[in-house]
Amino acid sequence: MDKRFITVRCGEDTLAGFELKQALITGCDYGLGAEWGESDHEWGPVAQRQPRWLAKQTVFCLTSDLGAIDVVRRVKGLGDWNECRARAYRGKTASDVEYLGLSDEDMLRAEEALEKSGQRRFRLDGLRKAVQGD
């Protein structure tokens, strides 16, 4: 199976950064049939999105002809992208597709950065145990 990974790292969330991200995601649309929408009613091709659509939220899940495409602009509690990637868990799906996932340490940082009302106690406890090696 031919494996393709798309990684986009832009600087601060400036207009230029959004334009670069927009161009790359729109480029994906032409080859992958990528779609997204704020609601089922607004669902449609990424290429038809208005400028700066990526500014609407920090995480997107697009659909495409080849499967889901996750676009993560920012995760509260996590800092440098390169450092997170270096700590990432490397795994394979049941169909032998390689992927990178957030490390337990970074998952814990992200969960702790949430407002108290949004934190899940069972998740915090589990991640703390995993990080401590219990």
User: Do 65 and 41 share a structural domain?
Assistant: yes
What was the pLDDT predicted at 108? 93
User: Do 68 and 89 share a structural domain?
Assistant: no
Q: What percent of the chain has pLDDT over 70?
A: 76
User: Residue 16: pLDDT band by 50, 70, 90 thresholds?
Assistant: low
User: Do 98 and 57 share a structural domain?
Assistant: no
Which domain range does residue 119 map to? 81-132
User: Do 98 and 50 share a structural domain?
Assistant: no
The answer to whether position 65 is within a domain reads yes
What was the pLDDT predicted at 113? 93
Of 22-26, 42-46, 102-106, the range with the lowest mean pLDDT is 22-26
The answer to whether position 5 is within a domain reads no
The answer to whether 25 and 71 have CB atoms below 8 angstroms apart is yes
Stretch 28-47: mean pLDDT, rounded?
80
d(CA 25, CA 16): 14
The answer to whether position 6 is within a domain reads no
The token pair that represents 41 in the structure block: 């009613």
**How many domains does the chain contain in total?**
2
The answer to whether position 30 is within a domain reads yes
Stretch 116-134: mean pLDDT, rounded?
89
d(CA 27, CA 122): 40
Mean of pLDDT over the chain? 77
d(CA 34, CA 46): 6
Is 44's pLDDT higher than 70? yes
The answer to whether position 111 is within a domain reads yes
User: Do 68 and 85 share a structural domain?
Assistant: no
The answer to whether position 48 is within a domain reads yes
The residues facing 92 across adjacent strands are 98
How many whole angstroms from its chain centre is CA 82?
14
Q: Which residue, 55, 72, 89, sits at the end of a domain? A: 72
User: Do 114 and 94 share a structural domain?
Assistant: yes
The answer to whether position 100 is within a domain reads yes
What was the pLDDT predicted at 28? 65
The answer to whether position 44 is within a domain reads yes
